[in-house]
Structure 1
């Protein structure tokens, strides 16, 4: 993506198609997601969330609410994106059906990290405001029906660092305090690496966790 344009490239690098939105995307929204049938989902901030045909970039549908995060797609085809809605305290996590209709919203999420979705449909996101509108620093697990499963108040502030989910369900999240491994069942801390900040962790095909830090070091964690 370049500002308000999304490009689709063939395997040889040649242009397949381009899509031009009316308004630009930003770093927090610039990562497209692809559904199981190839539909391309892309956020363009104030221009909303688009579902595009993978063959030619034509519009399947559009959600016009301000999409302030990149989208993610669950195993069941549900699309999740963080939106800004007038008269709401903070941002909302919006769950959409594959046809673009709304399933539910969950209020108070932070747009600075893209949510992650586990294979069983649990969404992991950072909390920023409680129902009373007070500022908080929490990490949340939200069920596929839009209700809270658990919250962790100890991990600290995650900034532009999306969670990663291991094959055993362990959730890895980087914050200004360090790198955390959380139990996906209850949010308890399995282990913690202090003062390692603050990229998004990645998991390789071998199950190892890879993580870069501000001091220009890449760490690998595994058995």
Structure 2
């Protein structure tokens, strides 16, 4: 009897302990966030929540979205769409099994829809050169001080039909000013020197770099080396140019030439440089990506001596990357696996961050007016945070050989492979698809009045398009388009 009584007491004691545990259960705790981080009227928002450290298990979730209809949800991670722009207080209340509760509130700013994008294809120009595909190297048109538009018909069939073409923009029409054939095909974009003349690299060793008269198209000089591809020449304010070579062997390297064609210096036997270089603000340093070594080089522009090299170590296949720079001097470039930010510390370089972005190699990084970064990639157009490399959003599309361009409203223009020029808002919302051809559309250039010039493959021809955009212009940012400006100089100032 005594044993039975003791057993009953112990059972009651255990039961009492369990009740006490329920009463004394740790309170719940929670936090939430939402995406996109800059919500827009009419666009679905995902609200997502996670228990905070030390929280007891949460059994109930209750959301109040603060709109006029007093909308609610009992899902842990609900979707919700605001039909009107404004400021809303969102409250999440959670409970545990013991009835303990916790609530957290946040203010959500919902912006009105993006400003209507009004565009018009003013003209298209066709020089009627038969090509096998669009020229490589993220080619983009360049604009002279007199308004002449220069572009490239590369990868011609046969290869010696590649041309640099100059077009006079008459307003509503365009006429051919001149077209100069090169001895080998052109796999990169041209650039313009301070004297108004054109620089372009070609595949052929004997004629690796050309200087063409901007007014007449006459070949002023051509120099040999190791052949070049995917490397638009950077041009400093004195007219000196800097570019890489294409050979993936010990013969490749980096070159600099004076405006008169004198070789200032060369660094050879170092592998290929399939990237467009960028110049520092004071023009004492040129940065270029060595494809073979997987290293970013910082080279003294005066004599070609090495300052430092920083290992990429983050994927391969860096063909076509167009280097760029932020206002703080951060250098950005792309590989097949990553977008990378490098800091120049003076005597050394260091990786600031790297972001997993598959298939970004043949594009480049540009900067929007709010400081966000944009690049083309395998998944489409990608927006990244400049401070951390975190991905803000991805707009899905098929793109190749296109460096985006950003306008003053933060709208991002990028060429697709289906013949469309695609325009997306700064928040990743599709604004317009402009049909230009039936193949790849290359890198757009935005003039000071907002006019967009871009090349597109249409049948067997490369066509140049002029697209008028109302109330626009290049983004008020440090690097709004390929090469930073309409001359593709790669100057960081």
| Equivalent in the alignment of 1:151 | 266
Deviation at 1:58, TM superposition (A): 1.2
* 1: CA distance, partners of 2:253 / 2:339: 27
* Unpaired stretches in structure 2, ≥5 consecutive residues: 1-116, 155-160, 346-493
The partner residue of 2:122 within 11, 16, 32 is 16
Residues 154 and 107 of structure 1: CA distance in aligned 2, closer, same or farther (over 3 Å): closer
Equivalent pairs counted in the alignment come to 205
Deviation at 1:89, TM superposition (A): 4.8
Residues 157 and 80 of structure 1: CA distance in aligned 2, closer, same or farther (over 3 Å): same
| Equivalent in the alignment of 1:140 | 255
Higher Rg of the two aligned structures: 2
Residues 191 and 32 of structure 1: CA distance in aligned 2, closer, same or farther (over 3 Å): same
Deviation at 1:162, TM superposition (A): 0.8
Residues 67 and 51 of structure 1: CA distance in aligned 2, closer, same or farther (over 3 Å): farther
SS state of the match for residue 137, structure 1? coil
Task: Judging by fraction of residues, say which structure has more strand.
Answer: 1
* Unpaired stretches in structure 1, ≥5 consecutive residues: 1-10, 130-134
* 2: CA distance, partners of 1:63 / 1:221: 40
Is 2:122 the counterpart of 1:122? Answer: no
| Equivalent in the alignment of 1:183 | 300
| Equivalent in the alignment of 1:200 | 322
Over 4 Å off, 4+ runs: none
Deviation at 1:222, TM superposition (A): 5.7
Deviation at 1:105, TM superposition (A): 1.1
The TM-score normalised by the length of structure 1 is 0.79
* Relative contact order, higher structure (CA 8 A, sep 6+): 2
* 2: CA distance, partners of 1:141 / 1:195: 24
Once the two structures are superposed, what CA deviation does each residue of 1:148-194 show, in whole Å capped at 9, x if it has no partner? 101123653212x1111111111010112211111100111112111
The partner residue of 2:341 within 214, 219, 223 is 219
Deviation at 1:104, TM superposition (A): 1.1
The TM-score normalised by the length of structure 2 is 0.38
* 2: CA distance, partners of 1:34 / 1:138: 29
Contact 2:189–2:232, Cα closer than 8 Å, also in 1? yes
Deviation at 1:72, TM superposition (A): 1.0
Deviation at 1:208, TM superposition (A): 2.8
SS state of the match for residue 15, structure 1? strand
Residues 20 and 114 of structure 1: CA distance in aligned 2, closer, same or farther (over 3 Å): same
| Equivalent in the alignment of 2:214 | 98
SS state of the match for residue 185, structure 1? coil
Is 2:225 the counterpart of 1:108? Answer: yes
SS state of the match for residue 17, structure 1? strand
SS state of the match for residue 108, structure 1? coil
